[in-house]
Amino acid sequence: MEIERKWMVTDWPRSLEPVQVHRMDQGYISVRPTVRIRREALQGGPTALVLCFKGAPDPTGMSRQEIETEITPDLFAQLEALIGKPLIAKERRTYALPGGLHLEVNDVDPGQPGHFMYAEVEYPDEATARTWTPADAGLETYLTDEVTGQKGASMGEYWEQTRG
């Protein structure tokens, strides 16, 4: 189960240092239901090739089933060819937050017309997701534009708008 909230942002947080940086490329085989591939290259570390399936979000937009599995380079190449469109480029910086949570900030398609940035916090359970506030991590001036569950705020919808 994936439980997360999402905010639109305009820059990297200035008050935090990243604990991880990933360069990613992702593409969608299907948006409804979500079936995607992603290349995740950890700065200074390994590269993972991931096939992901996501179920429909619950009514709040915070929770949904997610299945991820690593795949071979050959299968990734075959699926990328099947998609037949340029993958979305992303840089993700992960920041440690109090209480064992993490803030993931994504810079999507830098230099492209649709470029944007967003931030997510994943939670261990729905109760924590409902009660957590950006002020809990000193981010009340950074995380001001919450878009959790809003139409047009998903990566799949961005894919449809820019690659579909």
Write the CATH number for 100: 2.40.320.10
Separation between Cα atoms, residue 158 and residue 126, nearest integer Å:
26
Q: Which two tokens stand for residue 109?
A: 């398609």
d(CA 41, CA 49): 9
> Which residue from 93, 82, 69, 100 is spatially nearest to 142, judged by alpha carbons?
93
What's the pLDDT score for residue 5? Answer: 98
Q: How many domains does the chain have?
A: 1
Residue with tokens 């639109």: 8
pLDDT per residue, tens digit, the chain (164 aa), is 999 999 999 999 999 999 999 999 999 999 999 999 999 999 999 999 999 999 999 999 999 999 999 999 999 999 999 999 999 999 999 999 999 999 999 999 999 989 999 999 999 999 999 999 999 999 999 999 999 999 989 999 999 999 98
In angstroms, the CA 94 to CA 103 distance is 6
Query: Whole domain around residue 118: which residue ranges?
Result: 2-162
Give this prediction's pTM.
0.95
**What is the rounded distance in angstroms from the CA atom of residue 50 to the CA atom of residue 117?**
22
pLDDT of residue 104: 98
Q: What is the model's pLDDT at position 71? A: 98
Q: What is the pLDDT of residue 135?
A: 97
CB atoms within 10 A of CB 143: 21
Quick one: pLDDT at residue 164?
82
Sign of the Cα torsion 63, 121, 114, 110 reads: negative
